[in-house]
Structure 1
C-alpha cells in the first residue's frame, strides 16, 4: 500500500500507474494507488464516475498546496502581529527599568574602578568588608586605603579586612594595619587563596573580572549575589587568625604552620614553587626554603619523592609542628 503521510516517498507502483495513465490518457482497470488520490494527481472522468484520468502535476500541486500556503500566510501574519505586540511591551519594560539601578556594572580601567570604589565606600555607613589577597600591598594603595579607612572609622563604620598570612612579614602593610586597628578596625589573615572582594553595607560589592585586577572589575548590586559574597567572606573570617600585635616581627607558630601546610599540600598537587608563591603572595625563595627544610626532615632526595612521602606518610594529617626554615 502507498504511504500518504506528508513527506513520505511515493511508491514505484504509483509512478508506473501514473505513467501508464498518461500514455493511455486514463487508468487501466484496477484499484488506483492511494497516494495518487491524496496528491490530486487523478480525478474522475466526467462521463464515467467509475474511471479516473491523470491530472498534470502543476495543477494538482496548486489544488493541494493552496490551503497549506494560506495557512502558512495566516501564521506568518500572526507571528508578525505577536512580534509587534512584544516590541511595544519591550519598550515599556526598558523605559521603566531605565531609571532603576543596574544589578551589574562592568568597570574598565583603574580610573573607573577607583572612582566607583571611592563613591561606594564614602557612602558606606555600617560595615566595610574587604578581602585583599596577594601578600603585601603597594605603598600608594596603602596610602589611599589609610586615608579612606580612617575617615570611615572616625564616623563609626565597622571595618573587617582579610589578608593572607604573608602580610605579617610586610612592614608597610603592617604599619597600615597598626593604624587602622588602633582605630578599632579588625584585621585577620588566612593561608588559603581567595579573590579580592570589597562589600559596602552588604548592598554593593566589587569583584575582579580577571587575574589582572587593575584592568576591569564588576560592581554588583543584586541582593542575592551580594548576600552570597558576604556569607563567603564570613565563612573565611571565622577560619582566619587575628593580627593581634602588628608591632611584633614574629608570627604565631600556628600561622607559620598554616603556611607550611598549604605549601606542602600544593607540592603534593604537583604545583611549582613559582605558582605557590604567586598564590600565597610570598617570594619564590621563601617557598623553596620551606620545601627544602621539609625535604631534609623527611629524608627526601627529589621533588617527586617529597610529594610521594607527603602523600603516603600522614605527615600532613598529623601535627608535626613547624619545620623551621623559610619566611
Structure 2
C-alpha cells in the first residue's frame, strides 16, 4: 500500500504527498475516532486508493513529536519569529516559547525581524539580549521583511528540515513566508495600533516546500501554557540550567531555595542570565498553582 506525508488538513480532509509526489485527497478511517487517533499535518501515513482522486488513511505511523496547538507532528525545529519593535521584543515571551518548544523535543532557532525600522537603541538592546542566547547554543538570526539576503540567510537553517513558524502576532510570520515564496501571496494582517499586536490571518495548518525543506504555516500557537509539563521537568527545558544541574548539592534541586544550588550560584556570578532564572521561577510557580488533574 502506498505511503506518504500529510501536507495539509482542511475540513476533515487530509492532503497526502505520496511517494510519487502526487498530492492525494484522503479521509481518515472511522476506526481512528474509536481509538482516539487524530491524523495530523506532518504525519507519515499509509493510504488505500479509493478512486482516481480519493483515498483513505489506514495507518498513522509513529511520531517523533507532536504539538497540540497548532496540531502538527514530526517537527525538526521551530523558527521563533520576534520583532525588535512593533511589538517590542519580549524576553519573557521568548523564554516561554523556548520552554514549550524544548519540552516537545524541537530545536528552536530565534529570528528577529524589523531591524530596518528599529532605532539604534533598540538594536543594541536586542543584540545584547540575544548574545546570551547565542552563548547557550541557540542560533539567532536578525533580518527584516524585504531583506534581499533573507533567502540565503534562512536557507541553511531550513534545508532538509521540517520547520514550524512561531512567535508573537504581528511580527511578520506570514509576510516572511511571502518573501520566501512570493507566489503564495499569503494574506497578512496589519498591526492593531490599539492592541499592539496583529490579527491572526492563517486558518489551517499546511506544510509548504521552502528552501529545500518544509515550513509549516499555521494559525499560530493559540496556547503557551504549561499544562503538559510537571514542575520537576521544567528545569530540563532551560538548557543552561540543565547543563549545570549535576553540580547542585541535591539531585532533585528545583533551583528555588535549596542550599548548594549551582544554578543560583551561576546566576549570582552572571554566568546564567538573571532574567532567565526569574522567568523560570515564574513559570515554576504557574505550574505549582495549576489545578490538579483528575
TM-score by length of 1: 0.22
TM-score by length of 2: 0.24
Greater helix percent: which structure? 1
Greater strand percent: which structure? 2
